Amino acid sequence: MPVLQAHNISQIFDNGEVLFQQLSCSMSRNRVGLVGRNGVGKSILAAILSGAQPPSSGTVIIPQSCAVYRQQPAHWLSGELSIAQFLGKNDVLNALKQVESGDCSAHWFDVIGELWDLSSRLAQQLKVLGLPSDPDFPCTQLSGGQLARLQLWQLFESNVELLILDEPSNHLDAHAKQWLIESIRTFKGAILLISHDRLLLREMEEIWQLSGLGLHVFGGNYDAYIEHMRSEQQAVERQLVSVDRQKKKLAAQAQRNREKAAQRAAKGDQLRKAGGQPKILLDYKKDIATARASNLHKNEQLRQALLNEKEQALRGRQEQVKRQKLYLSDNISRLHQVVSILEGVLPFGCCQPITLQIYANDKIHLTGKNGCGKSTLLKTLLGKLTLQQGELHLNTPLYYLDQHFGAIEPELSMLNNLIQQCEGMKESDARTLLAGIGFRRDSVFRLGSVLSGGEKMKLAMLIVSHQPEQPVLLLDEPDNHLDLDAKMMLAKALRHYRGGFILVSHDDDFARESGIERQVTL
């Protein structure tokens, strides 16, 4: 029996905008991945499927127990909760402390039950997760990656029938991501995974793709899905070539028919002028020729309409399966040393001295566990933080792109963001660049404040890579909020980019596809 079912669900906003409509699905596999481009409505669909949000229309049948992991930590984690309180284990730990202090009240024994080893077991589990072993540690002092692990661990420890994970690998380092994969494998319930992480999607048994054309189901994991999409893209391109050939053939036939009709009409006029045949016979022949020409024209119009309809459908599908392109500036940088750190000690994170030389065209993957100081190093290069000791020398412009897309001005349109922040950028060039990432015509006037995370990142990458002085790019997890297509598009653009960059990313596939030439580990 399916774990989850939905029938003809639609989501329509108050302003009449349709996000999706008439979607139906049945989750019969225990591991299903939900993919789709940014802004298509994956998180809203997940909220509807979990019962957290009603659809505008349609019905959803969910299991009795369902839990959801969302992309951002829940707002109540910003309170005064400790790790133990968040996990719901504070009462037992407090009872253990009371007994250890000599209070042998029966109440404490009732609270403890069989959990006499909870303190040591919890400390060990927290250590494995890379979290502080002190259960009284406040949640507000945990990093984003640590908060994610804490939430995920609590969910995997639950006995719910269905677990919906919305981008669970964001902010997780390689060690934590491997723990997440093992947890997905051992979880007894069903999992609906919303992710752009290929490692996680390879653990799935089925892939659901949400697009402007609806919800499509693909059997197998991510690799099988990509192969199917590649084959479909090739098939669509072949069909478009065939349609184009048929349209040209139809146009040529229509031209020949018009020429023959004109020749017959000219011959009829000659006979009429010569007077060799009765007028009634000539009129009869003219009526037959006119009727024949009219029928041919109607058939041509019908065939043309059918071909246009088929082409439009194929173009729509091609838009969903094709790879977008992101064109980054390709100005050639000089091959000289631009960043030098000598025995530098960061103000936070890694306490070991760092010695590092970076050249203008270097493509560096900066790696390390959560909290080791990767973002701190980037901010130190920018001058926002200062080394505790050691020397730092810079002789190049730097451009920092953080996870909050600080390069985007929210009150400006996409077009104006690009023109105003890239000196010398012409409107025609800006429109060409925006079209390359999927924004054409009036869509370029969308304000920065309404863009999705992935859309902001794509726009920000265009801005930072088209600065006139060709800065070295400091990229702090730019792939975190990108969909699969956009992530591959960005990786390809970075691979062909002639300038240098320092990339922080926990996605090894993305880093490798970006053309990384060397790795620096903190």
State in Å, rounded, how far the first CA of the chain is from the last one.
Answer: 49
Same domain, 49 and 120: no
Same domain for 270 and 151: no
**Sequential DSSP letters for 82-147:** BHHHHHT-HHHHHHHHHHHTT---HHHHHHHTT-TTHHHHHHHHHHHTTS-S-TT-BGGGS-HHHH
In a domain, 330, yes or no: no
Which residue intervals of 204-278 are DSSP H helices? 222-274
Query: pLDDT band for position 9 (50/70/90)?
Result: very high
Confidence of residue 237 (pLDDT cuts 50, 70, 90): confident
- Residue 372 falls within a domain, yes or no? yes
Query: Do residues 8 and 62 share a domain?
Result: yes
Task: Determine, yes or no, domain membership for 308.
Answer: yes
**pLDDT tens track for 68-101:** 998 655 454 556 788 888 888 888 888 888 778 8
Same domain? 314 vs 409: no
Residue that is last in its domain, among 295, 321, 347:
321
- Predicted local confidence at residue 385, as pLDDT: 83
Question: Both 512 and 498 in a single domain?
Answer: yes
Tell me which H or E stretch contains 432: helix 427-436
Q: Hey, how many other C-beta atoms are within 10 angstroms of the C-beta on 108?
A: 18
* Cα atoms found within 13 Å of the Cα of residue 438, Cβ hemisphere only: 19
Identify the burial level of 13 via C-beta atoms within 10 angstroms of its C-beta, where 0-12 means exposed, 13-18 middle and 19 or more buried.
exposed
- Per-residue pLDDT, 44: 86
**What is the span of the domain harbouring residue 497?**
337-521
pLDDT of residue 164: 93
Same domain flag for 493 and 443: yes
Tell me: do 500 and 436 sit in the same domain: yes
Judge if 296 and 151 occupy the same domain: no
Query: What total number of domains does the chain contain?
Result: 4
Q: What is the pLDDT of residues 24-33, one digit of tens each?
A: 999 989 999 9
CATH number, domain containing residue 32: 3.40.50.300
Structure tokens at 343: 């025995």
Looking at the predicted structure, is the pLDDT value of residue 330 above 70? no
3-state secondary structure of 198: helix
273, part of any domain: yes
Does 205 reside within a domain? yes
Are both 388 and 459 inside the same structural domain?
A: yes
| Spatial separation of the C-alpha atoms in residues 356 and 354, rounded to whole Å | 6
**Same domain for 97 and 196:** no
Task: Starting at the earlier edge strand, list the strands of the sheet with 337-345.
Answer: 354-359, 337-345, 389-394
256: buried, middle or exposed (CB in 10 Å: 19+, 13-18, 0-12)?
exposed
**pLDDT, position 191:** 94
The answer to whether residue 234 is domain-embedded is yes
Residue that terminates a domain, selected from 287, 321, 355: 321
Give the span between the Cα atoms of 425 and 465, in whole angstroms.
Answer: 12
Whole-Å CA distances, 340 to 77, 355, 356, 392: 39, 8, 6, 6
Q: Is residue 290 part of a domain?
A: yes
Worst-scoring range by mean pLDDT, 13-22, 430-439, 461-470? Answer: 461-470
363 and 277 within one domain: no
pLDDT tens-digit readout, 278-319: 767 656 666 676 777 777 777 777 887 787 777 777 676 666
Residue 329 belongs to a domain: no
State CA 105 to chain mean position distance.
Answer: 55
The band of 204, judged by pLDDT with boundaries at 50, 70 and 90, is: very high
Q: At which of 292, 321, 350 does a domain end?
A: 321
pLDDT of 349-408, one tens digit each? 777 888 888 877 888 998 888 778 888 888 888 888 888 888 888 878 888 877 667 778
